[in-house]
Amino acid sequence: MVRLKLAIRAGWALVCVSAACLGPVGIRDAGASVGNASTGLQLLEDIQTAISELAETAKPSVVNLFPVTTGKGRDFLQDRAPNPSGSGSGVIVDPEGHIITNNHVIGDAAEIEVRLSDKSKLIAQVVGKDPDTDLAVLKVTVDHPLPSAKFGDSSGVRVGQWVLAVGNPFGLDRTVTLGVVSGIGRENVNLSRYENFIQTDASINPGNSGGPLFNLRGEVIGINTAIINFAQGIGFAIPSNMAKQVLQQLLAQGRVVRGWLGVGIQPLTPELARKFGVTENEGVLVNEVFERDPAAAAGIKPGDVITRIEGAVVDTPNRLSRVVAGLLPGATTKVEVVRNRQRMVLDVALTERRDQPVVASLPQSRTDAKLGLDLQDLTAALAEKFKLRESRGVLITRVESGSLAHSEGLREGDLIKEVNRIDVGSVGEFTAVIAKVRRGETVLLRVLRESRAFYVVLKSGDH
C-alpha cells in the first residue's frame, strides 16, 4: 500500500495510488475511496500543470552566456570547473535587454556572447560588476522587446516553500529543476564579502551560475551562484533584494557605493560577552576605531558592543558589515551600543566604504595553562621591526609553546594596549594591573598586530 499526503490550502487530501488502498470495504465505501483518489489525482495534475506553465513562462527570460575575450573569472568553489559547453547563465530583467548574472561567470571579459531562447545570438557589453556580491550586469542592443523576468521580494522567502531553478548546466539549455528553500540567511560560506544566501535543494550544477531562482508566482527571488563540492541538494542563491540594489546602482553609476562606519570588529565569544556585560551573540564587539572616520567622530570607542543599526539586529560581523554596506554614504544612521553595561544610541554620519578589511578574530580554543608570555617595553626599533605605528605599549617578545597565550593565538610582535580595559604603556603598568587579578579570574587583553586590533580573553591561572 502506497499513500501520498498532499498539503493544499483547502486542507489535506489523501491520494491512494494502489488498489490496496480500498481494502475489505463495502461497495459504498469503495466508491467513496475511488472518488477521493480521483479528487487527489486531479489536484496533483493541477499542480503539475501550474508548474509546467510556470516553467514555460520562465524559460524565455533565461540566457546562456559565453565570454568572448579570454579572461579567468574568480572561482570561489572547486566545483566551478571550466565548462566547454557553456560558461554560465543569466536572466533578462527588462525588455530593453539588461541581464543580471554572476561576476565569476564573465570574469575579465569585456564582451559576452548571449544565446537567447529562440537560438539567436547577441553580443552583450558589461555595464558594471560588483565582486563583493559576485554580481554583474550586461546589456544587449535589440530593436524589439525581449522576454524578461520580474524580481520578487526575497524578504518574504520562507524555508520549505517551492522554488524553480532555471539555467544551463553543462550546456543543457534552460534546464528546469524543482525544489524547496532549505535555509535562509546563510553566511560564512566564503563565496563573497557580503553573504546572505538562500539555500535550496533544487538541482544546481556548473553552468547554472547566474541563472534565476523563481517562486511559484514566476518572480525571481534569487540569483543562483554556487554549489558545495561533492554535496547533493545544497545550492546557494543571492537574494533578489540584494541583486536589485546592486542592479540599480550599476545601471545608475556603473559601480556600487556602500556605507562605511570605520571600525574593526570581532564576534562575541562567551568569555568576551561576560567581560562586556552582554549575552553571547547579542552584538558585535568593536576592537578598533579608525581615526577621522564616522565611528570616531560619533564617539564610538573600542570595547563598545554594537547591537543594532537603524533598528536592525547585528549579531555577527558579517551581518553588521552587510547592514552598513546597504546604507548610502552621507546618511546619518542610528547605532545602538552597549558601553560599560549601559545602552546608548549614537548618530553616525556614514562615508563611502574603503577597500580594506573590517573583521579581526582569533582562534577560540581554550586550555588551562600559564599565560606563557615574555614582555618588553616598545622601542622605536621594535616598532619598525614589527610594523607597528605606535610609540607606547607592551610588546610580546616570546610566546611559550602550549601555553594559554599560544592556544589563544597570541604571537611574537603583538602589542598589548589594554589589560581589563586599562591602558598599559609599559611592562611595569602591565604587571601592576595583572597583580590585581585573582587566581581563576579572566584577563581581557586588547592587542594590536601590525595595523589590526582585537580582543582576547585569557584565564589567569598561575601567573
Cα–Cα distance, 337 to 300 (Å, whole number): 8
Q: Which regions of the chain carry the CATH code 2.40.10.120?
A: 60-256
Which one of 3.30.1490.270, 2.40.10.120, 2.60.40.10, 3.30.470.30 gives the CATH number of domain 60-256? Answer: 2.40.10.120
Greater confidence (59 vs 191) lies with 59
Q: Which of 18-32, 97-111, 200-214, 442-456 has the lowest mean pLDDT?
A: 18-32
Instruction: Give me the pLDDT at residue 157, please.
Output: 95
* pLDDT > 80? residue 17: no
- Confidence grade of residue 290 (pLDDT, cut at 50, 70, 90): confident
134 noted as active-site residue: yes
- From the list 89, 182, 192, 209, the catalytic residue is 209
3-state secondary structure 318-383: HHHHHHHHCCCCCCEEEEEEEECCEEEEEEEECEECCCCCCECCCCCCCCCCCCCEEEEECCHHHH
* 254, pLDDT greater than 90: no
Taking Cα atoms as reference points, which of 84, 332, 76 lies closest to residue 228? 76
| pLDDT tens-digit readout, 101-155 | 999 998 888 889 999 988 899 999 999 999 989 999 999 999 999 999 999 999 9
Rounded to two decimals, what is the model's pTM? 0.66
- Residue 252 amino acid letter: A
Task: Indicate if 130 belongs to the active site.
Answer: no
Does residue 451 have an active-site annotation?
A: no
Pick the more confident residue, 188 or 454: 454
Q: Where in the chain is the domain with CATH 2.30.42.10?
A: 259-352, 373-459
pLDDT of residue 426: 86
Pairing type for strands 135-139 and 121-130 reads: antiparallel
Bridge partners for 21 per DSSP: none
Q: Which CATH number fits domain 373-459: 2.30.42.10, 3.40.50.720, 3.40.1160.10, 1.10.390.10?
A: 2.30.42.10
Residue with C-alpha cell 589567569? 460
Record the cell numbers describing residue 363, joined without a space: 582562534
- pLDDT tens for each residue of 366-418: 333 457 788 888 888 788 888 888 888 899 988 888 777 888 889 889 999 99
- The catalytic position among 61, 89, 98, 104 is 104
* Annotated catalytic residue within 134, 173, 201, 293: 134
Contact partners, residue 351, CB within 8 Å, separation at least 6: 259, 260, 262, 293, 294, 329, 330
Domain covering 259-352 in this structure, CATH number: 2.30.42.10
Residue-wise burial string across 243-265, b where 16 or more C-beta atoms lie within 10 A, e elsewhere: bbbbbebbeeeeebebbbbbbbb
